[in-house]
Chains A and B, each alone.
Chain A
Amino acid sequence: AQSVSQHNHHVILSEAASLELGCNYSYGGTVNLFWYVQYPGQHLQLLLKYFSGDPLVKGIKGFEAEFIKSKFSFNLRKPSVQWSDTAEYFCAVNGDDYKLSFGAGTTVTVRA
């Protein structure tokens, strides 16, 4: 079974600061990797995903993530955050079945 760990529970930043959220997973086989975002009061939305190919993945709203297979990591980055990026961010892993395993989530607060 796969498991996912996110390094930070809560991150507080100022606008224009750079953001990096760590995600590590454990799974022996081929994985699909995802980052979801949940804005206050809204549903989970897919930010970006990695299935295969270029390990540097670009998503919506200026986010990107890098898959480093040797480190079992899929860290999320954004060079310059905005107040509207305040949300909860979830890393998720899907192995060779339909179960999507989530990390505990990181709450990001961006101060204006």
Chain B
Amino acid sequence: NAGVMQNPRHLVRRRGQEARLRCSPMKGHSHVYWYRQLPEEGLKFMVYLQKENIIDESGMPKERFSAEFPKEGPSILRIQQVVRGDSAAYFCASSLGTGGWGTEAFFGQGTRLTVV
């Protein structure tokens, strides 16, 4: 039973390029959460998606960041025109339903984005 798969594990982008981070949830999970971890900080909520719907994107920066979770395929977190401040670890989690953090939600290994 594969866990939450994120790729790539490491991503290097030059300033101004686009970064695409992928998250394949666990089999059967239809809820996906994205978190960002900046150096010396905890994980910060970014966005919560269900299949084909963005439920809450209150943690996403207003510009350059977008997320989707299509009917088929992985969830994608997209960062356009990256800047150095976007360098962070981005974690995805998936669950069967809402509020199931104790039993149903699992995290991926994260994607470490470095902007040079």
Contacts and interface: CB of A to CB of B under 8 A. Distances in A.
Contacts of A32: 101-102
A103 B4 CA distance: 22
A44 to B, nearest CB: 4
Given A43-B3, A43-B4, A94 B99 contact: yes
Interface residues of A, number: 26
B110 A43 contact: yes
A104 B40 contact: yes
Interface residues of B, number: 25
Interface string B93-113: 100001101100111111000
A23 to B, nearest CB: 11
B45 A99 contact: yes
Contacts of B40: 9, 104
Contacts of A49: 101-102
Contacts of A41: 109
A103 B77 CA distance: 23
Contacts of A104: 40-42
Contacts of B102: 32, 34, 46, 49, 51
Interface in A17-60: 32, 34, 36, 41-46, 49, 51
A102 B42 contact: yes
16 contacts: A32-B101, A32-B102, A41-B109, A43-B106, A43-B107, A46-B102, A49-B101, A49-B102, A92-B101, A98-B99, A99-B45, A100-B33, A100-B45, A100-B105, A102-B43, A105-B42
Q: Give 10 closest A-B pairs by Cβ, nearest first.
A: A102-B42, A44-B107, A102-B43, A49-B102, A43-B109, A104-B42, A98-B98, A99-B45, A103-B42, A43-B107
